[in-house]
Amino acid sequence: SAVISQKPSRDICQRGTSLTIQCQVDSQVTMMFWYRQQPGQSLTLIATANQGSEATYESGFVIDKFPISRPNLTFSTLTVSNMSPEDSSIYLCSVYRAGYTFGSGTRLTVV
Amino acid sequence: QQQVKQSPQSLIVQKGGIPIINCAYENTAFDYFPWYQQFPGKGPALLIAIRPDVSEKKEGRFTISFNKSAKQFSLHIMDSQPGDSATYFCAASIGAGGTSYGKLTFGQGTILTVHP
């Protein structure tokens, strides 16, 4: 399976600011997935990032709020923009290689 | 159509017991069913996965039972240990692997506690 490095592991941010989360994979992958896990909840897909094209967003998630970059086949970023306390969650990236593998997540707290 | 329903929400067993977690789905296009284990502060880790052409799969102490006609699948943990205490998620996707990669739809999660 793939090894995923995600940064930062946690952050506390002021409302109205933005945070960019980085996801680095140890091998080239076609698609990278970004999930949100709200406190005590399950995982919900935010968007799918394919290298060289615009990310595909799930219902309820928009590009202005969660812009995604995918500059190459091993790296992606997710930005959480204009944050509010409701954005406090764990954000996870995932790739498929012999099964879907997840990063360790970014625990975001917005105050 | 895209929902995966998981039960129970929480489960407490004694060491050596066999906890069973159940999931049900509606979308018959789902063709990949993984289970994940998540410890606090960690990302989900893949435990075991099954495709609908088999009815059971075992890996170590973990077994998936799959009932295609009932659209249900379950996770059994044999000889459970306190270290198995974690949150378990079932999931489903369409077209995982191969040339198309489906997104995962997750169940609601089950908090398992194994007492010593």
pLDDT band for position B1 (50/70/90)?
A: low
User: Residue A99: which of B42, B49, B89 has the nearest Cβ?
Assistant: B49
B86-92 and A75-80: which strand pairing? unpaired
| pLDDT, position A54 | 87
Bridge partners of residue B62, in order along the sequence = B59, B77
SS3 state of residue B27:
coil
B103 and A48 in contact by Cβ < 8 A? Answer: yes
Which run of H or of E encompasses A25? Answer: strand A19-25
**Of B67, B44, B72, nearest in space to A1 by CA:** B44
The two tokens of residue B91 are 């999931």
Flag whether pLDDT at B72 surpasses 50.
Answer: yes
Sheet holding B72-77, edge to edge: B4-7, B20-25, B72-77, B62-67, B56-59
Residue of A nearest to B38 (CA): A104
Nearest Cα of chain A lies from the Cα of B28 at a distance, in angstroms, of 20
**pLDDT tens per residue, range B7-33:** 999 999 999 999 999 999 999 989 999
A48 and B106 in contact by Cβ < 8 A? Answer: no
Q: Taking CB atoms and an 8 Å cutoff, what residues of chain A touch B106?
A: 42-44
What gap in Å lies between CA A84 and CA A27, rounded to an integer? 34
Contact A47, A58 (CB under 8 A): yes
**Of A80, A9, A68, nearest in space to A33 by CA:** A68
Mean pLDDT of chain B: 92
- Helical spans, DSSP H, in A1-111: none
Flag whether pLDDT at B99 surpasses 60.
Answer: no
Residue of B nearest to A93 (CA): B43
What gap in Å lies between CA B34 and CA B40, rounded to an integer? 20
**pLDDT tens per residue, range B25-64:** 999 989 999 999 999 989 999 999 999 999 999 999 999 9
Contact A50, A31 (CB under 8 A): yes
CA distances from B52 to A26, B20, B66, B69, B106 (A): 30, 19, 7, 10, 17
Q: What is the pLDDT along chain A (111 residues), one digit of tens a residue?
A: 789 999 999 999 999 999 999 999 999 998 899 999 999 999 999 999 988 888 999 999 999 999 999 999 999 999 999 999 999 999 999 998 878 899 999 999 999
What gap in Å lies between CA B83 and CA B39, rounded to an integer? 10
pLDDT band for position B102 (50/70/90)?
A: confident
B104 and A31 in contact by Cβ < 8 A? Answer: no
In this structure, the number of other CB atoms found within 10 A of the CB of residue A108 comes to 20
